[in-house]
């Protein structure tokens, strides 16, 4: 079987949230030199590329997602020379580097916006979306993803501007060709530097419905994958197409049925998408226990939608916007923590697509027991907390919700060691450190054979060595089993089957004919060797990978 080898299909990605990764100048904030100092660690893990979340000049209202200069490095992170060095050293190790591209909005401190708001006649006025108010106040009833109205009144010109996210993140006007030209030339500038691609932020929001449109079912539907967005995306594609790069779009609102259009091999806008079906990013409610059947269904829907060359998936269980997967979908309880972290690794790393590991996920980091709202930095979480308080929710109850849902759960500093500041910094960091650093840290896990870290390493290397786990087809077994996730991968004669118990209870199953374990070799298991594997009984969070003899 001939395979069209593609680097971004074969490589395993690793997402870095720089402020919380590694601090080298001991100001309590991670930096570019910190990333550089850990490249060997990433290489050893088997990582093929890193995605760095925004490191550009920014007032940091939304931690770098509010950019005030696209072509400068934020001083707390370092300098452009340090970035160039990072890029060079990563490339020397065979690690590619992709950057975050935030082009739905800028910071309100971006010179374009400062100009734009200065007068109705300003040359930059149409760089953003301005409208007159109504008797009810804002131009329409649209609400921001970060809470409250999506419109902010600006006194200077007595008009409102649109912001899908925080009010300090005004949305760019993609209907203005000048805006697109500026953005595209910036994109070219970064690519000329030799970076290897982009994670494209909030890209499904760049097209807005006519302002008269009132939201009906979904409060964000007027700016989520709105018809007409194709035109903008086709233009963006022309810029990307000229290079051999990885592009992954953050695509809230794009369904599996539409995915082919977005990532089809020849006509797609991106190589792959971060879909929102299996993980609900803006879900403010407390999570129930994992609905295994539903979870499998969602993942399988995307696997099938993009199978047979129709496209390619981006695989993830964590990122900087969602709580830690062990806490949401596995278990923090001492008896289950390690097995569940490993079980969750197998729920995504060996599916068809390019896996993205989020920093700390590979050591099984968990949610943070935030003491109070003062420990929280994320703007949306604060808004949401105060909304709850104003509507009469008791503070203790509100904090319980926050603890389970806050994005900051994923933003506590990376736990390198058990030391006071987790080996992340020599002084108190910008964000609280999880007290479980004693138990969960890179240094200890490197030397412990059964650690979550060593399991990740084994799975990544297994994937790196086996084409079937990269290019092979996907098949779901036992779709209706409420505890087990069983899937196969196949490329010609090379076959794997992965069996994962996603529950705290023993599970049993009659495996289908073609998955009779007698014919398979156990390649990997998250229980130690003393355990005799029963063919049809699975311990809590037990996970196994079999290869056909
Ligand atoms: C994306 C980012 C998130 C950010 C938002 C606005 O969803 O992942 O962190 O707050 O866009 O840029
Ligand atoms: Ca620093």
Q: Is residue 280 over pLDDT 70?
A: no
* pLDDT above 50: residue 530: no
Residues annotated as part of the active site: 201, 250
What residues sit around ligand 2, an ion, with C-beta below 5 angstroms?
23, 25, 27, 29, 31
Does residue 243 sit within a domain? yes
Residues 363 and 486 grouped into a single domain: no
User: Is there a domain that residue 62 lies in?
Assistant: yes
The whole-number pLDDT of residue 317 equals 96
Mapped onto helix, strand or coil, the DSSP state of residue 473 is strand
- Give the residue numbers spanning the domain of 397: 371-405
Alpha-carbon separation of residue 180 from 113, 128, 223 (angstroms): 15, 12, 18
Q: Give the residue, by CA position, lying nearest to ligand 1 atom 4.
A: 65
Shared-domain flag, residues 252 and 343:
yes
Does the pLDDT of residue 283 top 70, yes or no?
Answer: no
Q: Ligand 1, residue 105: give the atom nearest the CA.
A: 12
My answer on whether 514 and 486 are in the same domain is: yes
214 in a structural domain: yes
**Would you say residue 515 has pLDDT above 80?**
no
Gap from CA of 299 to ligand 1 centroid (Å): 22
Residues 352 and 264 in one domain: yes
**Stated pTM of the model:** 0.96
Q: What is the pLDDT of residues 195-254, one digit of tens each?
A: 999 999 999 999 999 999 887 788 899 999 999 999 999 999 999 999 999 999 999 899
Asked whether residue 170 is domain-assigned, the answer is no
**Distance (Å, rounded) from C-alpha 340 to C-alpha 500?**
10
Q: Are residue 237 and residue 157 in the same domain, yes or no?
A: no
Let me know whether 312 and 426 are in one domain.
Answer: yes
Same domain membership, residue 416 and residue 381: no
Same domain, 338 and 232: yes
Quickly state the pLDDT bin for 288 (edges 50, 70, 90).
low
Total domains present in the chain = 4
| Residue pLDDT, tens place only, 155-182 | 999 999 999 999 999 999 999 999 999 9
Instruction: Find, among 3, 46, 12, 100, the residue nearest to 354 by Cα.
Output: 12
Q: What is the C-alpha separation between 407 and 149, in angstroms, rounded?
A: 21
Residue bearing the CA closest to ligand 1, atom 2: 201
| C-beta 485 within 6 A of ligand 1 | no
Please indicate, yes or no, whether residues 158 and 92 belong to a single structural domain of this protein. no
**Distance from Cα 442 to the centre of ligand 2, integer Å:** 20
Kindly report, residue by residue over 534-546, the tens digit of the pLDDT.
678 899 999 999 9
CATH number of the domain enclosing 275: 3.20.20.80
Average pLDDT over residues 30-45: 98
Nearest ligand 1 atom to the CA of 146 is 10
441 found inside a domain: yes
Cβ–ligand 1 contact at 113 (below 6 Å): no
Residues 99 and 137 in one domain: no
Taking phi first (over 0 means left), then psi (-120 to 50 degrees means alpha), and beta for anything else, what does residue 298 get? alpha
Best of 107, 202, 383 to mutate for ligand 1, by most ligand atoms within 8 A of CB? 202
65 lines ligand 1 (CB under 6 A): yes
Q: What is the mean pLDDT of residues 367-395?
A: 95
pLDDT value at residue 85: 98
Residue of 198, 222, 225, 192 lying closest to 210 (CA atoms)? 222
What's the CATH number where 487 sits? 2.60.40.1180
């Amino acid at each position: 079987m001939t395979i069209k080898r593609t680097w971004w299909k074969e490589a395993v990605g690793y997402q870095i949230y720089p402020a919380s990764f590694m601090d080298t100048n001991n100001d309590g904030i991670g930096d570019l030199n910190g990333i550089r100092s850990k490249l060997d660690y990433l290489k050893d893990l088997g990582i093929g590329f890193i995605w760095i979340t925004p490191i550009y000049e920014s007032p940091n209202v939304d931690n770098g997602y509010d950019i005030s200069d696209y072509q400068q490095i934020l001083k707390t992170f370092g300098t452009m020379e340090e970035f160039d060095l990072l890029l060079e050293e990563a490339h020397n190790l065979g690690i590619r580097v992709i950057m975050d591209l935030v082009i739905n909005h800028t910071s309100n401190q971006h010179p374009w916006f400062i100009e734009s708001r200065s007068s109705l006649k300003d040359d930059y006025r149409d760089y953003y979306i301005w409208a007159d108010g109504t008797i009810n106040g804002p131009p329409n009833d649209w609400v921001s993803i970060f809470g409250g109205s999506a419109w902010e009144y600006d006194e200077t010109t007595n008009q409102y501007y649109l912001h899908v996210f925080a009010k300090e993140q005004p949305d760019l006007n993609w209907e203005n060709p000048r805006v697109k030209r500026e953005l595209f030339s910036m994109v070219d500038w970064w690519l000329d530097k030799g970076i290897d691609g982009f994670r494209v932020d909030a890209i499904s929001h760049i097209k807005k419905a006519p302002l008269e449109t009132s939201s009906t079912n979904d409060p964000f539907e007027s700016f989520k994958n709105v018809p007409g967005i194709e035109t903008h995306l086709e233009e963006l594609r022309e810029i990307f197409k000229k290079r051999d790069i990885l592009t992954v779009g953050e695509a809230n609102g794009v369904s599996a049925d539409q995915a082919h259009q977005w990532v089809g091999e020849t006509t797609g806008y991106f190589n792959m998408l971060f879909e929102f079906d299996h993980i609900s990013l803006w879900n403010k409610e407390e999570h129930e226990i994992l609905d295994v059947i539903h979870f499998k269904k969602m993942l399988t829907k995307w696997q099938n939608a993009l199978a047979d060359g129709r496209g390619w998936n981006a695989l993830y269980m964590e990122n900087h916007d969602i709580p830690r997967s062990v806490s949401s979908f596995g278990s923090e309880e001492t008896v289950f923590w390690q097995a569940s972290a490993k079980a969750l690794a197998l729920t995504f790393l060996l599916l068809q697509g390019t896996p993205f590991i989020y920093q700390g996920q590979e050591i099984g980091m968990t949610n943070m027991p935030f003491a109070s709202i003062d420990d929280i930095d994320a703007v949306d979480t604060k808004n949401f907390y105060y909304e709850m308080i104003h509507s009469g929710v008791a503070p203790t109850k509100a904090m319980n919700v926050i603890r389970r849902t806050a994005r900051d759960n994923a933003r506590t500093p990376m736990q390198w060691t058990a030391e006071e500041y987790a080996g992340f910094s020599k002084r108190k960091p910008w964000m609280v450190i999880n007290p479980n650093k004693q138990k969960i840290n890179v240094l200890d896990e490197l030397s412990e054979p059964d650690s979550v870290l060593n399991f990740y390493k084994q799975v990544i290397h297994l994937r790196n060595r086996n084409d079937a786990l990269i290019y092979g087809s996907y098949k779901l077994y036992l779709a209706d089993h409420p505890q087990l996730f069983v899937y196969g991968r196949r490329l010609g004669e090379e076959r794997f089957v992965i069996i994962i118990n996603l529950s705290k209870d023993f599970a049993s199953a009659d495996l289908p004919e073609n998955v009779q374990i007698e014919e398979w070799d156990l390649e990997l298991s998250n229980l130690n060797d003393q355990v005799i594997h029963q063919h049809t009984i699975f311990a809590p969070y037990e996970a196994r990978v079999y290869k056909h003899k």
